[in-house]
Amino acid sequence: MMHTNQNGYQFYPLDQSFLAPLNLLSDEVFGRDYLLQIGVEDDWEKIAQLVNPISFCVVKGGGLCAARISYPPGQWSHLSAFKKSQPELWPFSPEDVGYFKLSMVHPAHRKKGLGKDMANFAIAGMRSMGAKGVVTHSWNQSPGGASAQYVSRLGFEKVAETEGFWSEYAYDCNECQNDPCLCTASEMFLKL
């Protein structure tokens, strides 16, 4: 265990034991087969070995409540998200920029500060790795605009927008109800 917050949520580094619960949480938050389609299982070894302390799961009462998956600076150019990004708009070289791939919180555990806690721990971890910045892709169609509000409150600024950002993935999007997903992503950058 890495940390327990004031509400008794326990933060753990990602390991293989979390893969099945992560898939279930992802199905509920984003849509059936999202985690499988975005390649997390294929990339599991790299995630589990390279990115701690910037990727973790949050547990309370024995159940998975939230998760964050991030990549350290210079270690995410193989991702589809990098290929869709616009690094020429960033103030730093891609080798100096980390990536927040995903953050998800179970609906029953929202509005308890877990997203902010996960982001702050990951940002601290990125700084310790020498990152000068972090990029993420905010889900524009998230319910109530929660994704953009969340990353904006953390200090991220919009640098670009990509329609159909997740369209290469065959999963049932909970929001647009399309397979493939037609939702738009805002590319957001945070200077550290």
| Predicted confidence (pLDDT) per residue in 81-101, tens digit | 999 999 999 999 999 999 999
Average pLDDT of the residues in 59-74: 93
Q: Please, what is the average pLDDT of the chain? A: 90
Per-residue confidence (pLDDT) for residue 49, from 0 to 100: 64
* Tally of structural domains, the chain: 1
Query: For residue 44, what are the domain limits?
Result: 3-191
Total residues belonging to the chain: 192
Per-residue confidence (pLDDT) for residue 51, from 0 to 100: 52
Per-residue confidence (pLDDT) for residue 38, from 0 to 100: 82
Give the start-end residues of each E strand in the chain.
3-4, 10-13, 31-32, 56-60, 63-71, 97-105, 133-139, 157-162, 172-173, 185-191
* Model confidence band, residue 50 (pLDDT cutoffs 50, 70, 90): low
95 vs 18, residue with greater confidence: 95
Per-residue confidence (pLDDT) for residue 184, from 0 to 100: 94
Per-residue confidence (pLDDT) for residue 119, from 0 to 100: 95
Per-residue confidence (pLDDT) for residue 43, from 0 to 100: 73
* Model confidence band, residue 142 (pLDDT cutoffs 50, 70, 90): confident
The CATH number linked to 72 is: 3.40.630.30
In percent, the amount of the chain with pLDDT more than 70 equals 95
Per-residue confidence (pLDDT) for residue 125, from 0 to 100: 93
Distance from C-alpha of 150 to C-alpha of 189, rounded to nearest angstrom = 13
**Measured in whole angstroms, how far is the alpha carbon of residue 168 from the centre of its chain?**
18
Under 8 Å between Cβ of 132 and 191 = yes
Judged by DSSP in three states, 185 sits in strand
